[in-house]
Chains A and B, each alone.
Chain A
């Protein structure tokens, strides 16, 4: 137990070294040093020794589960440290480039780039079949004039509060009154609970069609520019804010050599696995929808760590919540 406390204390000191900012940033590099890895290895050995010294029994199930899970997590992390492969892909949505590695070659992207810039062969090709961004209806900012404007200067408006369009399309602007949103923004046809949609459909070769550029796109463009506003009497100004992303998802076409292509949906928080690679949707070109940023990862220790994490949750809960003497 003393060794465990000593090791845990040393770990805390090490983590503090990597968490306290130095020169404008936190030195996370300390977590990749061999000393830190050795420290974690020593912790794993200490936990194993602790388990071996104790006699196994059902009454100590929580103890063994928690400690064995810590070892599993550490082994999983160590395997990842040795064998982890990470690649970044930039998938074009609009147009198709020449067949250089790391870019689109007519059928899709096969090469990813590592953090160091090396090329990684994924073993299959990835292309965008369609890409869709759903946005929330934009909120509005009600601004009030700060002070009488000096001659020749534009009046300054400060934020009074943000306003959300109600379910029936009404804007409650307090002392300024209640309006239908179309009264103020004629081109903005906002419907209740209906998100703005930008959808692109790509083809293996050729340009992308924007298939749904309706009221949504009008709001999007004017909202982003920040110019869309209306004066409400002498003192108030209502400004349309940029709509926020609610969700974005892409239909990927994954082509294996000598196999039929498969289509898979990829979204934030919903990675997909293909040929041992996990693909994650990280970001997209927010101005022109020209590309998507994907992360491809092959981490052999992932499942081990997953089992360890679940085991540790259960083990700790058993230790503290099951009354002693009433364990199975």
Chain B
């Protein structure tokens, strides 16, 4: 499996570099090739565990990396935003790099609590929305870097693209959050239990909500970027730190 992931990672890396030197067709070819290898890894994981491969962080990161090409194509079609190609293979490569560093638990059984029709839509929408939030964050960081270097000229376009990506991802994040609440009601008898994973996911969602409200209000618009950056930090806490830091440990989401 390692060889497959490394091949895909190298493919994404090449795609990123080729996109940067403005060889768009070649970049896309590398991107598609890397994605095919990445998708093979997802299929292998799936066949190995006999369930959708969301058992652990390694599975989720491999799946997350495979989300970027479909999102790229979807956004090209729906939003006609085709000027940010290099970002997609870059974040896919970062995800795969993370997956390679993790310990892999190849065999996995779906416990009774996860056997619900909500399992796949809840995880998938969350993973896709996190992928989009990661892209938007990258865009915003480029904006800040360019502003810092006083290259104000084309930051508006970049800022707009960051907003467009988040506007596409926020309903998915909302669905992920609320489908989790519906599922919790069926499994544990309560929509909301203030479990650390739940609380941090609500903090993340609320910060993105603040971002959208700030963007709508001219006097608050300068704060929108800060809200987005904080939201992404909260997202990283929800996605990674809640599971990795023992102090933040989630009891109800111990398998998440």
Contacts and interface: CB of A to CB of B under 8 A. Distances in A.
Interface of A: 1-2, 4-5, 8-9, 11-12, 15-16, 18-19, 21, 24, 26, 28, 31, 77, 86, 136, 139, 161-164, 244-248, 267-271, 278, 280, 282, 295, 297, 299, 302, 305-306, 309, 312-313, 316-317, 319-321
Interface of B: 105-107, 109-113, 115-116, 167-168, 170-171, 174-175, 178-179, 181-183, 185-192, 194, 196, 199-200, 202-203, 206-207, 209-210, 213-214, 216-217, 219-220, 223, 247-248
A245 B191 contact: no
B210 A12 contact: yes
A306 B182 contact: yes
B111 A245 contact: yes
B216 A1 contact: yes
B191 A15 contact: no
A1 B192 CA distance: 27
Given A1-B217, A5-B217, A164 B171 contact: no
**Interface SS of chain B: helix, strand, loop or mixed?**
helix
Contact of B213 (A1, A86, A244, A246): A1
Contacts of B200: 19
Contacts of B181: 309
A220 to B, nearest CB: 15
Given A1-B220, A295-B188, A305-B191, 9 more contacts: A5-B223, A16-B203, A26-B248, A163-B107, A245-B112, A297-B190, A313-B171, A317-B174, A317-B175
18 contacts: A5-B214, A12-B206, A15-B199, A15-B202, A19-B200, A26-B199, A139-B107, A163-B107, A164-B107, A246-B112, A269-B112, A269-B113, A280-B188, A302-B185, A309-B178, A316-B170, A316-B171, A320-B170
A321 B171 contact: yes
A279 B182 CA distance: 16
